[in-house]
Copies of this chain bind each other. A is one copy, B any other.
């Protein structure tokens, strides 16, 4: 058995992503909420999300738009800027409304990844709905959310899956009478 090559890892990664997304599309079906795509990149995943979730309000968060011509999101669905700034601003506009957030913000630069993890862990929870799903290429520490095992066929460690608790984080439980 050889070590995993970069081609092996690229295959396992896109397989895991594809399988997770299929599971998530079923999981959120029939539940209200908007969708965040964080990290447009070439636009491949955005193309997948808009195709499989045609009825959803789908917002794209990235520093810039640098994708395939046919994958450019509409202007009014783009939240451009540093992810910490756009998420912080989104907390007012979209607080507690995001039913699914996909993050593909990792790189081969570990310092970059540490910074992104910290930003997502700090600012993502406020926009998430109760029971929301998060799929990320970086492992995260999200308050009010638990890690889920990946669906069958997706190799662990290639993507990371989380679900927020069903109780809204900012909801104050009424005391029993």
Q: Is the CB of A51 within 8 A of B14?
A: no
Q: Is the CB of B108 within 8 A of A7?
A: no
Interface residues of A: mostly helix, strand, loop or mixed? helix
Q: A112 at the A/B interface (Cβ < 8 Å)?
A: no
- Establish whether residues B68 and A5, one from each chain, have CB atoms under 8 Å apart when the complex forms: no
Q: How far is the CA of A104 from the CA of B41 in the complex (A)?
A: 21
Whether A48 pairs with B14 at a CB distance below 8 angstroms is no
Closest to A2 in B: B51
The 8 A CB mask of A50-89 against B (1 = contact, 0 = none) is 0110000000000000001001000000000000000000
Q: How many chain A residues have a CB neighbour from B under 8 Å?
A: 24
A51 to B3, Cβ gap below 8 A?
yes
Question: Is A139 at the interface (CB under 8 A from chain B)?
Answer: no
Contact between A68 and B17, CB atoms less than 8 A apart: no
Q: How far is the CA of A7 from the CA of B68 in the complex (A)?
A: 12
For A4, the closest partner residue in chain B by CB is: B51
Q: Give the residue of B2, B3, B5, B17 whose beta carbon is less than 8 angstroms from that of A7.
A: B17
Across-interface contacts of A6 in B (CB, < 8 A)? 42-44, 47-48, 68, 71
Complex Cα distance, B17 from A96, in Å, reads 42
When the two chains form their complex, are residues B108 and A48 in contact, meaning their CB atoms are under 8 A apart?
Answer: no
Q: CA–CA, A167 to B3, complex, Å?
A: 37
- For chain A, residues 148 to 166, give those with C-beta under 8 angstroms from any C-beta of chain B: none
Q: Which residues of A contact B (CB under 8 A)?
A: 2-3, 5-8, 10-11, 14-15, 17-18, 21, 42-45, 47-48, 51-52, 68, 71, 108
